[in-house]
Amino acid sequence: MKVGVVLPSSNREWLADRQAAYAKWARPGTEIVSSALHERVPSDADPSDSFVLPEILQRMLEAEQDGMDAVIVDCMEDPGVEEGRRLVDIPVIGPGHAALNLAVTLGYRFSILYPLEQVRLIEKLVQHHGLSSMLASVRYLACGLKGMRADAKTMLGYLLEAALAAIRDDGAHVIVPACTLISELTGQLGIQLRERGYPVPVVDGPGAAVKLAEDLVDMDLAPSRVTYPASLGISHRIE
């Protein structure tokens, strides 16, 4: 099967890296096809910016036309996922909801590690999906979003510190790092937690999204049209 990944940015330099972050989770037979936004989008635009939304949706429409079996948006805040489900017939998947939803199959209460001080931006995803009663906490990653480009060892230190605080002080049973950029570190974070005596699963967003895409395609399932009625309006970017 072919799974499209929409990078919600026009920065093509990141494409190879993002392609790899998803491809590592794909099983044999799953092809990951990533694409960036149109060049007209400023290269430093925020993926969750409302003015960027139509550009993401446009790429979803193109992904469907290009024969993708499912499409993922590469951002844990799931920008455009709810809206896109009304526009295309293939499954649209957000790594944020996919990770949270996998987390609650593994434990009773999860904490999110988040690189922005504006924690409300991720908390509202939890609330939107009816999972508030299972949220232990959102922990701010002290490195910030810019610090995420630090070397792996430094970054892992930040993740470990926040995860331990979530487990010890907030009662987290499962950890969900909420930035797809640090996807390569989730495995190591889980190992480090186990070594310190906390056998707590760490759920990776891109991994959860790829698996959910494969599951839905295998089972021939798509989002409900009662929850996501076909769009009543136009279905292309206004130029």
Q: Identify residues 68-97 at the interface with a copy of itself (CB under 8 A).
A: 80, 83, 86-87, 97
Mark the segment that binds a copy of itself (CB under 8 A) among 62-70, 107-115, 151-159, 176-184. Answer: 107-115
User: In the range 5-24, which residues lie near a copy of itself by CB under 8 A?
Assistant: none
| Residue closer to a copy of itself (CB basis): 48 or 154 | 48
* Identified binder of a copy of itself from the candidate list 3, 57, 125, 164, rule CB under 8 A: 57
Burial of 204-237, coded b for 16+ CB within 10 Å and e otherwise, reads bbbbbbbbbbbebbeeeebbeeeebeeeeeeeee
43 near a copy of itself, rule: CB under 8 A: no
DSSP labels, 130-181: T-GGGEEEEEE-TTHHHHTTS-HHHHHHHHHHHHHHHHHHH--SEEEE--GG
Q: Give the residue carrying structure tokens 């990776």.
A: 204
232 near a copy of itself, rule: CB under 8 A: yes
- Compute how many other C-beta atoms are within 10 angstroms of the C-beta atom of residue 47: 21
What is d(CA 83, CA 92) in angstroms, rounded to the nearest whole number? 9
CB of 231 closer than 8 Å to CB of 86: yes
Q: DSSP letter for 13, please.
A: G
In Å, how far are 32, 65, 102 from 206, measured between CA atoms?
Answer: 12, 23, 12
| Residue closer to a copy of itself (CB basis): 12 or 236 | 236
* Identified binder of a copy of itself from the candidate list 13, 65, 105, 149, rule CB under 8 A: 105
| Residue closer to a copy of itself (CB basis): 29 or 151 | 29
Question: Rounded to the nearest whole angstrom, what is the least distance from the CB of residue 129 to a copy of itself in the complex?
Answer: 8
> Would you put residue 228 in left (φ > 0), alpha (ψ -120 to 50) or beta?
beta
User: Tokens at residue 91, please?
Assistant: 């499954």
107 near a copy of itself, rule: CB under 8 A: yes
User: In the range 183-202, which residues lie near a copy of itself by CB under 8 A?
Assistant: 187, 190, 198-201
149 near a copy of itself, rule: CB under 8 A: no
* Identified binder of a copy of itself from the candidate list 27, 146, 149, 153, rule CB under 8 A: 27
* Identified binder of a copy of itself from the candidate list 3, 139, 204, 205, rule CB under 8 A: 204
Question: Rounded to the nearest whole angstrom, what is the least distance from the CB of residue 81 to a copy of itself in the complex?
Answer: 11
